[in-house]
Amino acid sequence: MFTIRPKYKNKVVGFNGSAAPLGERDDFAVLAEIAVNSQDPSLLILFNKTPTAEDVKKFKTQKFMKEEKEGDKNE
């Protein structure tokens, strides 16, 4: 759902307990939430599509539903 612009793949942004280059990460939902909440243009510009609060909410809901469904399978 959240993707980084190719020109920023080597950029290092410290968040979520890591400072690895963006191209080596997969926790962009966390960065999207930080960018949306702070409205920091230097973070918002990193994304192919500028994330919105609705995008973050939708992602969290989908993630929760997926985890719940997987949890039901394990019971």
Whether residue 1 lies inside any domain: the answer is: no
**Using 50, 70 and 90 to split pLDDT, how confident is the model at 72?**
confident
pLDDT tens-digit profile of 34-66? Answer: 999 999 999 999 999 999 999 999 999 999 999
Domains in the chain: how many in total? Answer: 1
Whether residue 46 lies inside any domain: the answer is: yes
Collect all residues with Cβ–Cβ distance below 8 Å to 7 and sequence separation of at least 6: none
Collect all residues with Cβ–Cβ distance below 8 Å to 47 and sequence separation of at least 6: 2, 3, 4, 5, 28, 32, 35
Distance, CA of 44 to CA of 59 (rounded, Å): 17
CA distances for 27 relative to 6, 7, 8, 20, 75, angstroms: 16, 18, 15, 11, 28
pLDDT of residue 41: 97
Whether residue 30 lies inside any domain: the answer is: yes
Residue 74 has pLDDT above 80, yes or no: no
Whether residue 39 lies inside any domain: the answer is: yes
